[in-house]
Structure 1
Amino acid sequence: MNHFPALGSYPAARLRRNRADDWTRRLVAENTLSVNDLIWPIFLKEGVGRNEPVSSMPGQLRVSLNELIDHVGRAVELGIPAIALFPATSPERKDSEGSEALNPDNLVCKAARLLKSTFPTLGLIGDVALDPYTDHGHDGVLRKGLVANDESLELLACQAIVQAQAGIDTLAPSDMMDGRIGVLRSALDAADLKDVRLMSYAAKYASGFYGPFRDALGSSGALKGDKRTYQMDPANSDEALREVALDLQEGADMVMVKPGMPYLDIIQRVKATFAVPTFAYQVSGEYSMLKGAIDHGWLDPDKVILESLLAFKRAGCSGVLTYFAIEAAQRLNRG
């Protein structure tokens, strides 16, 4: 059954007419991708010295603070509006409570102060979760072997404040604890940090696509158990809308779906339902699959990088966190 209104039929209607020339295709394009849509995730490492490659993510690096300005300067020159910071915390700084997350001189806070003093107009996004800092690899603290929701919230609020005071513009809670947006918003407001934004990982799934990211942070071997008691079941879609609705009610300014490409249907539903700024994270597993195929000559990077990112815009995204940000920006700036 045809559900479209009467729009003509062949041969009077020939849809190929509007595909015949480059200028026509550009005029009728329903979605566009620009450098303004890109957020670049960056891995930080302690110490001084050369940048360290991430073996499971070809082309990505762990960057020490003395190399950070040159590294991030590439994004600034290309016009990328924001970066997201993730720390590879050394094992001796990890404990069962994630105490280093609350240290105002931790790696993320030092990086934020350095970057804000050098690139004051660059957007800085900080991850709020305890997993980079816990010796058990979970996003919250453990009590009797289980991730304790409410006890974790208190620590996450303290982590959010130290990051915001260091210069992080947008806090991105990725922990998936119940009620964390409301707790963070209240803590920030009480600390006179009312203008700090919250980009909630509202629909973060318990996915197998995170493996290379955990390698990059050095947390894959530390994880005891799994995260399915707080991250979402990949089988569920309606539940994502409930998660987003709760986070918006609690004060989220923006929401995110993670992973990205396997969850385009979730992105579309979130955007259609709530019409709020919606982001996706093209996660490490997505990047490594594409990059591996590109490096083997099986896929053309000039085609698939931008095509994969345009899919997020078509689904309704305002922007995308992607490890391809530099390569994508270079291609987009070439026109």
Structure 2
Amino acid sequence: MTVDTVVFDADGHDERADPVDARDDPGTTWVRVVDPADGVLDDLAAGYGLHALEVEDILGDVRPKVEEFDDHTFALLKAASLRHGDVSFADELRALPVGFFVGDDWLLTVEPERAAALDAVWERVGREDPRLLTNGPDFTAYRGIDRIVDDYYGILDDIEDDIEAVENEVTEAAGEDLLERINDLRRDLLSVRRLLWPTRDAVGVLARGDPAQIRPSTEKYYRDVYDHLVQLVDLTETYRDLTSGARDIYLNALSMSTNDVMKTLTVVATIILPLTFVVGVYGMNFSGSPLSMPELEWTYGYPAVMVGMALTAGILVAYFRRENWL
């Protein structure tokens, strides 16, 4: 568990030991909590006037959302990444909840596990980036949310590479596990879609400037993030269409392969059928009657029947070849 507190303004930044006392310091206070221990969030909630349900949402599996309160705004987003799994074709989507509590002059972020997106913003505060130091907590929260959303592009890029590999395999030589891989990709895209839609709605609330803590000068930055999310949703739907097309191509190829096999078996059976009939007729071996087959007593009967069967089979093969059935 780590609890880091920094107070920053146009003159620079300073670290603080007590996150609750730092709230009253002049400037913008950012308290960053990673992997909170029992009781730590309760103390911070009491010091910053947070509702118990907000804290519970961060620790639970809750979809991204934005809630407005009298003295702060709560935004819950998911920092996503792809990790290698035993079930998925390539990777499994792992979503880490990140809570942003935005006050008038303070920002409290809570991460069950350290999020790389916030690491980048925290380092910029340490380097005393003037844009972060002078634009307040809503702009600092925007930078963290923007980095989280930017990481979604990397996830879709990885999935796009997998889709291209599957499409190449479908058009060249489809393997036995290809359908399973396509279905895994569709499940991955469904997981991304379930993440992006509520995130877009949540950021839309911030982009409209509904919360009092989002200043008009910052709304345009949230609108830019919202535009990115709209693009990401469109990309996800496009990739789902591509995987559906790849699955249809695979099933059609499989059906054509089955049809070719059935056609070959039908041709072979058609060639064998008259030969079987001839063998069956001459296999009765009735003799000793004027009505018996005269060929049974003929010296060249057997060779003649074999030649006739060979000619029949040859004629059928030639016909099937001419009709492109073989």
Pairwise TM-score range, normalised by the shorter structure: under 0.3
Q: Which has the larger radius of gyration?
A: 2
TM superposition score normalised by structure 1:
0.25
TM superposition score normalised by structure 2:
0.26
The structure with higher relative contact order (CA 8 Å, sep 6+) is: 1
